[in-house]
Chain A
Amino acid sequence: MNKKNSLQCLSIAELYSKFGILVILLIALIAGAILSPAFLVPSNLVSVAQNVGVYAIIALGMTRVLIGGGVDLSAGSNVAMCSVIVAAVYNSTGSTLLGVLLALVAGSCIGAVNGFFASYLELMPFIVTLATQMTVRGLAYLVSGGAPVFGVSDSLVFLGQGNIGGFPMMLLVVILATIFISFVMTRTSHGRYLYAIGGNPEAAGASGINVKQQRFINYVTMGTICALAGIIYAGRTNSGLPAGAVNFEFEAIIGTVLGGTSMAGGIGNPVCSIIGVFVVGIINNVMNLCSVNAFWQQVVKGIVIMVAVVLDIFTRNAIMKSTKKR
């Protein structure tokens, strides 16, 4: 009896981690349409996409990090620093390409620092990335001289704000990046290794996987992805904001967990994470359209986080329980 129950529980959990977020997206869309006539309008949906684009890019990296059994709290700071680099390099040299390359290198280096401490020195990723969160924020201020750096090239502005025949560039970037990350996670050995490592690092190690190296690569990639997000962020805001992108890592984590990725590792899917991020974006948008008081918006957001965490525990527990039965 018991076993059957836990199996049923597990299949629900499994179903949720696969398709649940689609149902939630549907509910959010319907609820939005009912609550505000201005919601289900192309121009509004485009603005939702543009609002969550940066979160979505970060969420792709965050999904990988969470699947691998880690977490990255330095993402927001990294985005801010990279946006500052892009803007500062453009303003002093006039080169977009140089700024983009430097930002990608810098972002990856931050990832490498996280990876070195969290993977090779086996420190807790939470603490390591909390430390880099502060350090990198400080670096962003140092690079910018404390003030925002205004102005980036037109091509970046086009990337962050433009559209092709009404289709936002930002969304195009998100879709391409999602396809790429999905490919990596399902069709490369590196992706399979990350799932295995997050699911059971001992078993992965005992199967001959270089666990530390794979985790390190994961953090470095996360840094690169944050740099990409930073470049887009610079285009979107037309500036490098050292005080910007605060808490973006949490926006990404909320969307990712809502999308069924487990905080405990081993389970998750980049596509679902992106949908999760959009659901959060839709909730925000609908509340704005209904002119919900800003303080109430915060309360609702907190509740959404709680729901996401409960769902995470629910999924994980169901799996753990049926594990213990054996």
Chain B
Amino acid sequence: MRNISKSFPGVKALDGVDLRVEQGTVHAIMGENGAGKSTLMKVLFGQYTPDEGEIFLEGKPVQLKSVKDAVNHGISMIYQELSPIKELSIAENIFVGRYPMTAAHIIDWKKMYTSCQEIFDRWGLSYDPQTKIKMLKTADIQMIEIIKAISFNAKLVIMDEPSSSISQKEVEKLFDFIRALKKEGITTIIITHKLDEVFTVADQVTVLRDGKYIGSNRIGELDRASLIKMMVGREMNNLFPKKDAGYGAPLLEVRGLNNGSRVQDVSFTLHKGEILGFAGIVGAGRTETMRALFGLDPHSSGEVIMDGKPIQIKHVRDAIKNDIVMATESRKDDGLVLCRSVEENIMLPSLYRRSKGGILNLKENRRVAEEASHKLEVKTSSMDTMANFLSGGNQQKLILCKWLLMNPKVLILDEPTRGIDVGAKWEIYNIITGLAKQGVGIILVSSEMEEIINLSDRVLVMCEGRINGCLEKGEVTQEKIMNLASEVQV
């Protein structure tokens, strides 16, 4: 792939990226969240058409306009989120859409099962073609997906973070299989966050950062430190408002919070006026921790202490009652009611405080909503505009508006600047630091390193559901965060 560029509205996801993968090797693609790894692979798999650039396959230029094109050229992709048809058998899932037919145009079940069995025998796998997919574990389904990919005569298999949802043992099994593929001359591209995996299985690694090509090296020529450096070594620009270091008395204390495997024994203290950063790779359990704290998800155990008093949070309204509020990760999913007006969205959480016996004072509501949206400079044609019509940055401000009306003591922000432009980011950073100056305790969950490093008073790094380390303001570096985020410290 040469000079690939791809833009989405407001973001340049890929900027002149080159990728050279040698036949019959295992090639790892690394980079931080949002570096453009998945986008690049989707271009290669024909899901996105690049704005610029060419793709060469075995020396010949190819046009990949659709997934079908890609499959015809021997490219297959295994997604991070698997989507098998759970009620059907293994064989059906492998042959779906191209069932072997008898002369009478009826599905030839016998042939399907035998050819499926043949494939399993060839690769030394012990699955029964007639087992239903829903009986299998994630790791097995992944294996089936790979088999399916190969059965399309794939020469190049792309795997998007295959190890993210399976156990260590299963990862080893998967890697053995990747090595077996390699012996057969099948090339594998593997997207991963985990350094160890790269050194175990890959022959070569390409690093992307902010949609740009950083470098490509043979594994033998690299060590951990130099790889981390490639991933994070970016220039810091000074796009961050200054905040006086330091914070007040302890405000919120969380002790031993647990929820399944995603949140394990999480403990931390948030102080008045502090911005506490939570760093980690996607899926490290940061969002889950916050959801459990806010009462959106249940937690199996753990204590929450607010202003020195233990509190119980079972529902969101318990958290709100205790002046803890959370701006959730996705504006669309659980942030806003997009089909309702700006005013309704702003007022939603605080209606119960502002109504008398359930009856609203419409004029007063309008005034309060207008005031709040002016304060944060939400750009909207009127208070009656549907939230849907606002830009991403303004929608994000809307969410902040609705929570700031509650006068929170603790404000949890989950990816507050995802997918919004630089100007809006700057405004939101100003709002955040302004609140901290007023003494609000702020928890900032973000996958953007710059944000975390420049705004936070302290940074907690999570990895696999646990807090892996705490970095004070002076000592935070991208390298340290990356190190803590990619490996569980014993």
Contacts and interface: CB of A to CB of B under 8 A. Distances in A.
B196 to A, nearest CB: 36
A202 B315 CA distance: 13
Interface in A192-211: 192-193, 195-196, 199-200, 202-210
A291 interface: no
Contacts of A188: 355, 358-360
A189 B392 CA distance: 27
Interface stretch (A104-112, A171-179, A225-233, A318-326): A318-326
A203 B331 CA distance: 9
Given A187-B359, A187-B362, A188-B360, A200 B338 contact: yes
B348 A207 contact: yes
A7 interface: yes
Contact of B348 (A14, A186, A209, A323): A209
A266 B355 CA distance: 21
B219 interface: no
A266 B392 contact: no
B415 to A, nearest CB: 14
Given A208-B316, A208-B317, A203 B334 contact: yes
B344 A196 contact: yes
A267 B339 CA distance: 7
Contacts of A206: 294, 296, 316, 326, 328, 334-335
B337 A323 contact: no
A301 interface: no
Contacts of A192: 344, 347-348, 351, 360
Interface in B293-317: 294, 296, 315-317
Chain A interface residue bracket vs B:
20 to 34
A199 B338 contact: yes
A323 B333 CA distance: 11
A55 B294 CA distance: 44
A195 B362 contact: no
Interface in B379-405: 386, 388-389, 391-392, 395, 402
Given A188-B358, A266-B339, A323 B388 contact: yes
B389 A207 contact: no
Contacts of A199: 337-340
B355 A205 contact: no
Among A190, A200, A207, A210, max chain B CB count under 10 A is at A207
Contact of A189 (B332, B339, B352): B352
B260 to A, nearest CB: 20
Interface in A70-101: none
A210 B315 contact: yes
A322 B388 contact: yes
Per DSSP, are chain A's interface residues mostly helix, strand or loop, or mixed? helix
Contact of A193 (B328, B351, B391): B351
B357 to A, nearest CB: 9
A218 to B, nearest CB: 14
Chain B interface residue bracket vs A:
35 or more
B370 to A, nearest CB: 17
Contacts of B352: 189, 208
B434 interface: no
B362 to A, nearest CB: 6
A235 to B, nearest CB: 31
Nearest to A187: B360
B250 interface: no
A287 B315 CA distance: 54
A200 B337 contact: yes
B360 A319 contact: no
A205 B340 contact: no
B202 interface: no
B221 to A, nearest CB: 43
Contacts of B349: 207-209
B338 A189 contact: no
B332 A266 contact: no
Contacts of A186: 362
A203 B351 CA distance: 15
B270 interface: no
B339 A207 contact: no
A307 to B, nearest CB: 22
Contacts of A10: 386, 388-389
A6 to B, nearest CB: 10
Nearest to A322: B388
Among A192, A204, A208, A326, max chain B CB count under 10 A is at A208
B388 A319 contact: yes
Contacts of B344: 192, 195-196
Contacts of B326: 206
Nearest to B326: A206
B176 to A, nearest CB: 41
A199 B349 CA distance: 15
Contacts of B355: 188-189
A154 to B, nearest CB: 36
A193 B349 CA distance: 10
B336 interface: yes
B320 interface: yes
Contact of B351 (A7, A14, A189, A200): A189
A200 B334 contact: yes
Contacts of A196: 337, 340, 344, 348
Nearest to A326: B392
Given A188-B358, A192-B347, A192-B360, A202 B334 contact: yes
Would you list the 7 A-B pairs with minimal beta carbon distance, nearest first? A202-B334, A199-B337, A189-B351, A208-B320, A206-B334, A207-B349, A200-B337
9 contacts: A187-B360, A188-B360, A200-B338, A204-B348, A207-B316, A267-B339, A319-B339, A322-B389, A326-B395
